[in-house]
Amino acid sequence: MSDPVLEVVDLHVEFPTPTGPARAVDGVSFTLDRGMRMGLVGESGSGKSTTVLALMQLIKAPGRIAGGQVRLAGDDLLGMTPEAIRRARFSRIALVPQGAMNSLNPVLTVRAQIDDLLDAHGSAFSANERSRHVAALLKRVGLAETVADQYPHQLSGGMKQRVCIAISIALSPQVIIADEPTSALDVVVQKQVMQTLIHAQREVGAAIILVGHDMGLMAQFAHVVGVMYAGRLVEIAPVGRIFSDPRHPYTRMLIASLPNFSSRGVFRGIPGVAPSIVDPPPGCAFNPRCPRAENRCSREIPADDLVAAGHRVRCHFAREVADVAPA
Amino acid sequence: MSPLLEVRAATVAFGGGRAAAPKLALRDVSLTLPAEPSITAIVGESGSGKTTMTRLMLRLQDPTRGTVHYDGQDLKGLDRAAFLRYRREVQAVFQDPFGVYNPFYKIDRSLLLPLRRFGIAATRDEAYELARQSLEAVGLRPGDTLGRYPHQLSGGQRQRVMIARALSLRPRIIVADEPVSMVDASLRATILESLYRLKVERNVSLLYVTHDLTTAYQIADRIVVMFNGEIVEEGDPESVIHQPRHAYTRLLVSAVPPADPKVNWGLENGALAA
């Protein structure tokens, strides 16, 4: 029944520093089924953006992919030649980058930027077909055809974000990676952009990885949610289980810290600060902030524990069914 | 007792000339912050005028028409001593915890300099002692914070240092413009709690500007909704959130994703509005 389009196995990404390698991504594994939407959450520096950049092979030197495998519909992405990777980008795995509004070229029209992508991938469209393709793309993301001949500064933030989504689906990729696509947008526009993203994803039948730190948005968007902490994927489960039966204390605290419309004057922040990935705490990296921590947590790195179908947790106490996070 | 801060019938116009009508950032808006400690949240989208409102209150800008009053007195009529008192008692915390620090100086400087300039601490030791107390009041360990450069602290820590700096000057009100929007979701609760406790424990009022209705509901005594340069709705959080009267407020409430996958927010079946 499962039909993986993307398989990531034991991925490692390192950045050299004077005091040793910083393990930005430390043994991340997951599979993404065709057409599914996955959310990847974590705080700044947890490795979520680095993970998805590694999938696109966009890690800049001196950073490097230090190990692992990435298979896209069975093909080994990490073993491809640079030219093969270049061709795979956007035609098979596309990126809606972080701060997508600033990723558009300010001196080119929207049409010229879509043409650029088509040219780079050797499109055989005639001029007429191309024009129709651009119009159809813009229509798919809810924009008028006239937007094609406008410059980025003539568009609002939400419209620019939709242009970036249009570019990401232009070549009907199998996987779309969206790295915090709405973090710079107003809340009302955020919802519209997310609707656009889902609509576009369905039209081309792509799977999506959405990177972000808003658990509320993940609850609504994702089929599967992965939680990263200090370079490790500490919990991954179907969205229903993440919210109804979270097993990692960090996941529980992330959910408990969300404000809602039923309690006022109540704050459940996560105490402490994120660890340094150059010199992480021994054992489980969350142990200095964890209310459940015991001695073994600062000695042994928890193994991946499959507690239910599709639900993996890296915590020594993952099989305890605890109540909600302590206040 | 006079209200703490009061904006009276303020209009702010930008640009304009023979060819074009000026753009109105605020249209004849009045807002009163009471003398007793309170937390007022201003919510609205980009361009709604909420930041312009804070600029008036901080006197970073004067209104084109209308007046701003502190403790009953027009800000334009304050003498030097009264203006200095106003500058000390009305403190600001800005959105970007990365942009507000000079990267060449240790963060100690941001804490000590205002204490010396406002004459609150007579000596360097006294200033350090006050800085340490303020850092502890916002949940930071002085030993881990003082002596460091801005880049050595996380965004959440930097934002709390800004709150500590404001607090050390014994303000009556802190004007915070989107203080947590650039901070990780997991740290927002901690920073908002620091601000909330200043009201409860130290009688410091807060004007909290945000586009996030959930945190406004969490922290405020009163919510003011702005749209297109006007206040379209204001009231206590229960009624504004649970019985919104204005269509724009209803739109804002519906734009908050429910943190429960079983609640249908309508992402899947939304119409594609251009």
pLDDT tens profile B223-244? 999 999 999 999 999 999 999 9
Residue A321: which pLDDT band, with cuts at 50, 70 and 90?
low
Whether A284 has a pLDDT exceeding 50, the answer reads: yes
A214: chain B residues, CB-CB within 8 Å: 185, 257
Type of residue numbered B102? N
Q: CB A269 to CB B262 under 8 A? A: no
Residue B154: which pLDDT band, with cuts at 50, 70 and 90?
confident
The whole-chain average pLDDT of chain A stands at: 91
Q: Where are the alpha helices (DSSP H) in B118-223?
A: 124-137, 142-145, 155-168, 185-202, 213-219
Q: CB A187 to CB B256 under 8 A? A: yes
Q: CB B257 to CB A216 under 8 A? A: yes
Q: CB B258 to CB A216 under 8 A? A: yes
The total number of residues written for chain A in this structure:
327
Instruction: Check residue B272 and give its pLDDT.
Output: 54
Q: Which residues contact A128 (CB under 8 A, 6 or more apart)?
A: none
Instruction: Check residue A325 and give its pLDDT.
Output: 46
- CB contacts under 8 A, A 175-194 vs B, are 186-192, 194
Q: CB B212 to CB A213 under 8 A? A: no
Residue of A141, A191, A270 with shortest CB distance to B186: A270
Residue B138: which pLDDT band, with cuts at 50, 70 and 90?
confident
pLDDT tens profile A32-42? 999 999 999 99
A191: chain B residues, CB-CB within 8 Å: 254-255, 257, 265, 267, 270
Whether A323 has a pLDDT exceeding 60, the answer reads: no
A141 touches chain B (CB under 8 A): yes
Average pLDDT over residues A81-104: 89
Q: Which helix (H) or strand (E) holds B86?
A: helix B80-89
Whether B20 has a pLDDT exceeding 50, the answer reads: yes
Cα torsion through B56, B59, B63, B68, rounded to 10: 80
The whole-chain average pLDDT of chain B stands at: 91
Q: CB A261 to CB B211 under 8 A? A: no
Whether A327 has a pLDDT exceeding 80, the answer reads: no
Q: Which residue of B has its CA nearest to A191?
A: B255
Average pLDDT over residues A189-204: 89
What is the share, in percent, of chain B residues with pLDDT greater than 70?
A: 98
Instruction: Check residue A324 and give its pLDDT.
Output: 47
pLDDT tens profile B32-70? 999 999 999 999 988 899 999 999 999 999 999 999 999
Q: Which residue of B has its CA nearest to A157?
A: B46
Whether A326 has a pLDDT exceeding 50, the answer reads: no
Average pLDDT over residues A132-155: 93
A245 touches chain B (CB under 8 A): no
- CB contacts under 8 A, B 190-249 vs A, are 190-193, 196, 211-215, 217-219, 237, 241-242
Residue B266: which pLDDT band, with cuts at 50, 70 and 90?
confident
Instruction: Check residue B184 and give its pLDDT.
Output: 79
Whether B256 has a pLDDT exceeding 80, the answer reads: yes
Whether B180 has a pLDDT exceeding 90, the answer reads: no
Whether B26 has a pLDDT exceeding 60, the answer reads: yes
Beta pairing class for A93-96 and A75-76: unpaired
Instruction: Check residue A183 and give its pLDDT.
Output: 78
A255 touches chain B (CB under 8 A): yes
Q: Testing the interface with A: which of B51, B187, B236 to mutate, by most A Cβ within 10 A?
A: B187
Q: Which residues contact A113 (CB under 8 A, 6 or more apart)?
A: A104, A105, A163, A167
Whether B274 has a pLDDT exceeding 50, the answer reads: no
Whether A124 has a pLDDT exceeding 50, the answer reads: yes
Q: CB A260 to CB B268 under 8 A? A: no
B151 touches chain A (CB under 8 A): no
What 3-state class would DSSP assign to B39? strand
CB pairs under 8 A between A and B: 138
Instruction: Check residue A322 and give its pLDDT.
Output: 56
Whether B271 has a pLDDT exceeding 60, the answer reads: no
Q: CB B154 to CB A261 under 8 A? A: no
Q: CB B186 to CB A257 under 8 A? A: yes
Which of B8-22, B81-95, B164-178, B252-266 has the weakest average pLDDT? B8-22
A223 touches chain B (CB under 8 A): no
Whether A235 has a pLDDT exceeding 70, the answer reads: yes
- CB contacts under 8 A, B 34-53 vs A, are 45-46
| Residue A136 backbone dihedrals phi, psi, to 5 degrees | -65, -40
Q: CB A270 to CB B255 under 8 A? A: no
Instruction: Check residue B75 and give its pLDDT.
Output: 95
Place of tokens 């209308």: B66
Q: How far apart are CA B159 and CA B179, in angstroms?
A: 7
Instruction: Check residue B16 and give its pLDDT.
Output: 76
Residue of A143, A157, A187 with shortest CB distance to B255: A187
Beta pairing class for B222-227 and B39-43: parallel
Q: Which helix (H) or strand (E) holds B80?
A: helix B80-89
Instruction: Check residue A8 and give its pLDDT.
Output: 97
Which domains, from first to last, does chain A contain?
4-313 (3.40.50.300)
Q: How far apart are CA A174 and CA A120, in angstroms?
A: 18
A156 touches chain B (CB under 8 A): no
